[in-house]
Structure 1
Amino acid sequence: MKFLSQLTQSSPLKYRNQAIAVAIVLVVGLVLAIAILFSNKSGTKTEEHDEATHKGEHAEKTGEEAAPDQKGPHGGRLFTQGTYALEVTIFEVDSVPVFRLYPYQNGKAIAPGASDVTVLVQRLGQEAQTYRLKPEQDYLTSTDELEEPHSFDVKIKAIFDQKTYEFHYEQIEGRVQMSEQQRKHNGIETQVAGPMLLQSTMSLLGEIRLNADNTVHVVPRLTGLVERVLVNAGDKVKQGQVLAVISSQLLADQRSEVLAAQKRFALAKKSFEREKKLWEEKISAEQDYLAAQNALQEADITRQSAEQKLAALGANSSIGTTGGSLTRLEIRSPINGTITEKNIAMGQVLKEDATIFTVTNLDTVWVEAVIPAKELGQIKVGQKAMINATAFEASTSGKVSYVGSVVGDQTLSAMARLVVSNAKGLWYPGLPVNLVVQSAAVNTPVVVASEAIQSVNEVSSVFIKVGDQFEVRPVELGRTNGKFTEVVKGLHAGETYVSKNSFLMKAELGKSSASHDD
């Protein structure tokens, strides 16, 4: 300023005016700078106040001093109000899934019995379910199982020290969102689950077996040497047809005994007839007549016994067709059928209990199938079934004739049997087959299209629809006829589910990789 005064006093008039203008500019700039400085300070204070006020309003609105995703000591969600806190977990290690809640006060664990807690679970498209909790050790646990999926809206109410605390969180898993336009583009269709008169079917693996009721194992019944074999495996034979000839000394001894018994009987009979005539003519005494009668009866008993022993060996006293040899035995077929097994050769020495032929009437065969224990209740005697060959195109029908009453210790299954006609000889024993067993029509409360069922995490599931949201729902299945399947548990009548192209929902679910907290 002193400089400006000197310049004004010593300079001409034009310089004096310039100095005054510069001074004015400097003063105005200084005033503006001071104003801006004070304005910034005031604005900063106002913004800090507004932010603090907003934070206070949010805390008052939620009533929670900790973020909902804050973890507690046990890895669960930790919720806090004032000095009280609850840690919420879902426990499913070596047990069914249940809620486990850990209460705290001032950051320290407190006795679980001091808190009265209820949990309200709201699932997509279902009525809310209340879970009561009871104290155990250092936590509260729900008494009911928390069923899958663990996707729901949760409201918790806790009463501690005469004060009520409320917490809320949402947990979503197994859920897909898809608009109507997307569904039409992907060909996804829905239906409403409901009742149906269902005639269920069950697919089983089976095998053709020989009909044991029409199968005979041929044994020689005495030791001997094979002289001739007249048939081979696969040959068809008639009842009484000679299959083989063997030579046996035991047979000769037995035939000799029969012949001797027959001759004694014939002699005793003549003696009896003579004594009877003499007694009737009163020539001989009655005592002689009675003695002859007794001798005849004993000879007859001896004869019958010897003949029955011979018949038990499959032979008779006649030796006409055996070439006059007492040692030869003709082995004959006991039934009409086919030689399905042959264990005899020329010159072989046979034992009396050796099975030398197996003869089976193949007009009927058995179909045997293994039934898992859990499905035994669906198989009844008299049910119809379709049988299809796996090696070639052939099919037939039959009825269940037998269901095993014993479950195997190792297989945990039982056996079912069907009798099938084999007049054309198409069904070869040992042939694997597929069976479709049909049951009687039953009025079933909840039925879904079989196409709707998908395996999610190795569990049978369907996708339910609520608005534009779809959620996987584990289900327990019952009877099926192939096209429709009964839902025993997990789905209610009236719920909408994805009935066509549900595999696209499963694929979409795999992309989202949703899962509930550990």
Structure 2
Amino acid sequence: MRSSLISLLLIAALSVAGCGQRPAADAPDEHAAAEDAERGPHGGRMLRDGDFAVELVIFEEGVPPEFHVYAYRKDRPLSPREVRVEVELTRLGGKVDRFSFTPQGDFLRGAGEVREPHSFDVKVRAAEGGKAHQWVYPSYEGRTRIAAEATRAAGVKTEIAGPAVMPELVEMAGRVEVTPEGQGEVRAWYPGRIMAMNVRVGQQVRKGQVVARVESSNSLQTYSIPAPISGVVIQKNANVGDVAYEEPLYVIADPTNLHAEFFVYPRDAERIRQGQKVEVRTLSGAGRVTAPVEAIVPVADLNSQTLTAHVHLPPGASETFRAGMGVEGVFEVASRQAPLAVRTKALQRFRDFTVVFAKVGDTYEVRMLELGRRTPEWTEVLGGLEPGTEYVTDGAFLIRADIEKSGAAHDH
């Protein structure tokens, strides 16, 4: 509940502080202009100059997005061979895409793909009948402008996209156990009758503390039995009056001396090595620690054919992890450098795409990504983002909310 309230307050802060960056009431609104622009018979944007007009369409049915241009005089179709067209798209950051056109059927077809996002300042030049025509207009989608003080207050952070070392991860199930050296059995030194049992299950004891007294059957003398280690009594296997022989009277465990035992299946056995880093986490995911593989037991279980990998947990882990708990482990079995990667936490959904938000000055805009391998920290980028781009890592959902609120449309 508190988290939702904080998110709403942050979105409100972005809206209020960002308002100063939006067009004034008497200035043209590019989003409203895109929605109000005249549409032609093919659903494209109509650009008029006297009796002459062109309809600019981004066509993407069964093909990568490409420009189609239809020409008209007095609203009657013109042969595409009578018209010459050029289009320039200036993207956020200043990069310019240029398109030439050739006649195809009843339209002019642009050479090349109109890359996502379809967000740019458009310049169209056309020539027909010895006359030149030109139109310039903004056509933005997935873009918003927010004052720097608003994003700082909301905790929005950015990084520069570039190469990253990405680990190869293997996930396994396991359980937490007390280490062998973290357990001690209290046994009678000589057979005899138990005269006293001084502690109970769950009680904390210290090393050397007298926990039982036994009368020797041979000497009939009573001797004291101390605790071999400090810890908690987890088993009590006898009572006063019983005869102590081979069965341990108590089992004591040190709850801070823990390791996780993971079940390594044959397909992963050759990839797991001593010393590899492992993220051990509770089944809820709330508790996490990172520790190395301490040892791999080389004997396979007869039924499951699994080996056991031991991961020693640091002492502080006992506040979250308990013996007997089921856990998950993420083993880092290898790593390689990705030429371009972004933080996984930066990824957001926009339309049907996975995106990050690029930042140029106070302006933010979507970048539709083609993705490769993914880890909890990094995601490889195969396309859709230029190396060196500044992008939002923390607070990306706030940028998305502001873009959705502003109604930055996909204008064709």
- Normalized against structure 2, the TM-score is what? 0.54
Matches within 5 A, 1:36-185: 69-185=37-153
Against the structure 1 CA distance between its residues 134 and 435, is the aligned structure 2 distance closer, same or farther, given a 3 Å change threshold? farther
Residues 359 and 392 of structure 2 are in contact (CA less than 8 Å); yes or no, is this contact kept in structure 1? yes
Which residue of 1 is the match for residue 346 of structure 2? 452
**The residue matched to 1:183 in structure 2 has which SS?**
helix
Deviation digits for residues 391-447 of structure 1 (CA, Å, limit 9, x no counterpart): 79999969xxxxxxxxxxxxxxxxxxx9744799xxxxxx996654543332x4333
Q: How many angstroms does 1:485 deviate by?
A: 3.0
Which residue of 1 is the match for residue 335 of structure 2? 440
Residues 272 and 333 of structure 2 are in contact (CA less than 8 Å); yes or no, is this contact kept in structure 1? no
Which residue of 2 is the match for residue 483 of structure 1? 377
Q: How many angstroms does 1:388 deviate by?
A: 6.3
Question: In the alignment, is residue 502 of structure 1 matched against residue 400 of structure 2?
Answer: no
Q: How many angstroms does 1:478 deviate by?
A: 2.8
Which residue of 2 is the match for residue 469 of structure 1? 363
Which residue of 2 is the match for residue 5 of structure 1? none
The runs of at least 4 aligned residues of structure 1 exceeding 6 Å deviation read 380-385, 387-396
CA separation in 2, counterparts of 1:169 and 1:513? 18
Matches within 5 A, 1:260-409: 367=265, 386=278
**The residue matched to 1:491 in structure 2 has which SS?**
coil
From 168, 173, 178, give the equivalent of 1:201: 168
**The residue matched to 1:144 in structure 2 has which SS?**
coil
Q: How many angstroms does 1:171 deviate by?
A: 0.6
Residues 387 and 397 of structure 1 are in contact (CA less than 8 Å); yes or no, is this contact kept in structure 2? no
Q: How many angstroms does 1:92 deviate by?
A: 2.1
Q: How many angstroms does 1:499 deviate by?
A: 1.8
**Partner amino acid for 2:362?**
D
Structure having the larger proportion of residues in helix = 1
**Partner amino acid for 1:70?**
E
Residues 170 and 333 of structure 2 are in contact (CA less than 8 Å); yes or no, is this contact kept in structure 1? no
Q: How many angstroms does 1:451 deviate by?
A: 2.1
Mark the runs of 5 or more structure 2 residues left unpaired by the alignment. 1-35, 175-261, 295-304, 312-325
Q: C-alpha root-mean-square deviation of aligned residues, in Å? A: 3.8
The aligned length equals 261
**Partner amino acid for 1:495?**
T
Residues 202 and 480 of structure 1 are in contact (CA less than 8 Å); yes or no, is this contact kept in structure 2? no
**Partner amino acid for 1:516?**
H
**The residue matched to 1:461 in structure 2 has which SS?**
strand
Q: How many angstroms does 1:186 deviate by?
A: 0.4
CA separation in 1, counterparts of 2:366 and 2:102? 30
Q: How many angstroms does 1:194 deviate by?
A: 2.6
**The residue matched to 2:72 in structure 1 has which SS?**
strand
CA separation in 2, counterparts of 1:421 and 1:134? 67
Against the structure 1 CA distance between its residues 174 and 434, is the aligned structure 2 distance closer, same or farther, given a 3 Å change threshold? same
Residues 385 and 436 of structure 1 are in contact (CA less than 8 Å); yes or no, is this contact kept in structure 2? yes
Which residue of 1 is the match for residue 229 of structure 2? none
Residues 280 and 328 of structure 2 are in contact (CA less than 8 Å); yes or no, is this contact kept in structure 1? yes
**Partner amino acid for 2:347?**
I
CA separation in 2, counterparts of 1:69 and 1:481? 44
**Partner amino acid for 1:485?**
T
CA separation in 1, counterparts of 2:395 and 2:167? 23
CA separation in 1, counterparts of 2:336 and 2:173? 27
Q: How many angstroms does 1:164 deviate by?
A: 2.5
Against the structure 1 CA distance between its residues 365 and 74, is the aligned structure 2 distance closer, same or farther, given a 3 Å change threshold? closer
Q: How many angstroms does 1:154 deviate by?
A: 0.8
Deviation digits for residues 213-259 of structure 1 (CA, Å, limit 9, x no counterpart): xxxxxxxxxxxxxxxxxxxxxxxxxxxxxxxxxxxxxxxxxxxxxxx
Q: How many angstroms does 1:102 deviate by?
A: 0.5
Q: How many angstroms does 1:131 deviate by?
A: 1.7
Deviation digits for residues 81-139 of structure 1 (CA, Å, limit 9, x no counterpart): 24321011122223322211101123211222332222111111141011222322211
Structure having the larger proportion of residues in strand = 2
Larger Rg: 1
Deviation digits for residues 274-333 of structure 1 (CA, Å, limit 9, x no counterpart): xxxxxxxxxxxxxxxxxxxxxxxxxxxxxxxxxxxxxxxxxxxxxxxxxxxxxxxxxxxx
CA separation in 1, counterparts of 2:108 and 2:271? 51
Which residue of 2 is the match for residue 492 of structure 1? 386
CA separation in 1, counterparts of 2:114 and 2:340? 22
Which residue of 1 is the match for residue 221 of structure 2? none
Residues 156 and 168 of structure 1 are in contact (CA less than 8 Å); yes or no, is this contact kept in structure 2? yes
Q: How many angstroms does 1:148 deviate by?
A: 1.7
Against the structure 1 CA distance between its residues 482 and 94, is the aligned structure 2 distance closer, same or farther, given a 3 Å change threshold? same
Residues 266 and 306 of structure 2 are in contact (CA less than 8 Å); yes or no, is this contact kept in structure 1? no
**Partner amino acid for 2:384?**
G
**Partner amino acid for 1:160?**
E
**The residue matched to 1:181 in structure 2 has which SS?**
helix
- Normalized against structure 1, the TM-score is what? 0.44
Mark the runs of 5 or more structure 1 residues left unpaired by the alignment. 1-67, 209-363, 371-379, 399-417, 425-430
**The residue matched to 1:184 in structure 2 has which SS?**
helix
Which residue of 1 is the match for residue 407 of structure 2? 513
